[in-house]
Amino acid sequence: KPEPKPEPKPEPKPVPKPEPVPTPEVKKQPEPTPEPQPVKELAEVTPQSKPTPPKPEPVKKTEPKKEEPKKEEPKKRLLDNILKDVRKLKETSEASPTEPQPEETPEENASEVVATRLDANLTMSELDAVKRQIEKCWSPPAGAKEAGAFAVEIHVSANPDGTVRQARISNLNDIQGDASRRTIAESALRAVLNPQCSPLKLPLDKYEMWRTFTFNFDMREMLGL
């Protein structure tokens, strides 16, 4: 007998594909707020104090050396006195109106003119009048009589109206070694330059004779030695 044909296997049913399950939406959770970091404690900062400047050492006071008083040179001191008196005389003559004075020429320069003695050109009465006038302006220094008898010769240049233009001690070299005599000579010079004794009582018509002259201060006569 023929073997029976096997029955055909039934075809498998197709398995249905599972429906895709929807993926649930995941809500984004908010990012956690970062916790604030703890503030680091500020280290106590000690302000740096400025360095105290060193105390200055006390300055030792140096006592100035006592300078020995310098002996004033007689010529310089005498020149200063002459210039001082000449300035006073100039100020006085400018303040009071006087006759116009001729310009000084080189021939009239006192240092170049050989002065004549006053008593050689004037009469005794004229000479005495001038001496009395100068004596009123002269104050003898203390101890003048102790200086002894000597003479002071003062070279004078005068203006036509009798005012003294300039004066100087012409025999200074003879007396500058003696301090007391030098002091007396300087006082005599101040008397000649004193504005209160100017103009000199000289005859104006004899101006050419006394424009430059030497006035002799004889201490024997002036001090009665």
For the record, the structure tokens of 210 come out as 């006394």
Return d(Cα 219, Cα 194) in angstroms, integer.
19
User: Is a pLDDT exceeding 80 seen at residue 70?
Assistant: no
User: Is a pLDDT exceeding 70 seen at residue 204?
Assistant: yes
Highest mean pLDDT of the ranges 52-56, 113-117, 140-144: 140-144
User: Is a pLDDT exceeding 60 seen at residue 57?
Assistant: yes
SS3 (DSSP) at 137: coil
Phi, psi of 166 (to 5 degrees): -160, 160
Mean pLDDT confidence for 79-97 = 58
Contact call for residues 158 and 212 (beta carbons, < 8 A): yes
For the record, the structure tokens of 3 come out as 């073997």
User: Is a pLDDT exceeding 90 seen at residue 190?
Assistant: yes
- What predicted TM-score, i.e. pTM, was given to this entire model? 0.47
Give 54 or 188, the one with higher predicted confidence: 188
Residue 74 φ/ψ region, left for φ over 0, alpha for ψ in the -120 to 50 degree band, beta for the rest = alpha
User: Is a pLDDT exceeding 50 seen at residue 109?
Assistant: no
List 213's β-bridge partners, or say none: 116, 156
pLDDT score for 223? 74
Of 19-23, 56-60, 98-102, 215-219, least confident by mean pLDDT is 98-102
pLDDT score for 82? 62
List 156's β-bridge partners, or say none: 167, 213
Return d(Cα 75, Cα 81) in angstroms, integer.
10
Mean pLDDT confidence for 128-143 = 86
Give 55 or 26, the one with higher predicted confidence: 55
CATH of domain 74-92+111-222: 3.30.1150
Q: What average pLDDT is seen over the chain?
A: 71
Of 67-76, 109-118, 175-184, 210-219, least confident by mean pLDDT is 109-118
pLDDT score for 191? 92
User: Is a pLDDT exceeding 50 seen at residue 43?
Assistant: no
Mean pLDDT confidence for 37-57 = 56
Q: Where are the domains of the chain?
A: 74-92+111-222
